[in-house]
Amino acid sequence: MKKLMIIIVLAVAFTGIAIPKANAMDPITLSILAPIAIEYGTPIAISAGEYAFKGLMNAGVGMIDMFKDMIGVFMLPVGFLEVTLGMPFGLFSNGCSNIGEGFVAPFKLAFHAVMLVPRLFCLYS
């Protein structure tokens, strides 16, 4: 029974492996088509570059939002310190708001991390 289980496990493990095929292009065809590709590809590359730059700028804004949320995570222990040690100095209400901000920050961080890909494709701003 053990041998049968080992054979089944190995058969399942190795079913997805395929032998890679070589996909080569001869250099003569590449050298003949290169000037044509450059002639028609330049305007397309310039317009695609504009969209790529716009997407990267939008994703940069998303990274700034994620950094703010990472800093916001540290407001939870700061809030607890303000509530406990700062209560005699009147920091209780400020500590409660920092605890709330620190509690919400990981969820905001997860949301901004998930929305980073749509920002990259300019689907979310």
Q: Side chain identity at 101, as an amino acid letter?
A: E
pLDDT digits (tens, 9 = 90+) for 45-99: 677 778 888 888 988 999 999 999 999 999 999 999 999 999 888 889 999 999 9
Residue 72 and residue 68: Cα distance in Å, rounded? 6
Decide: 66 and 113 in contact? Cβ < 8 Å.
yes
pLDDT digits (tens, 9 = 90+) for 106-122: 999 999 999 998 888 88
Residue 98 DSSP class = H
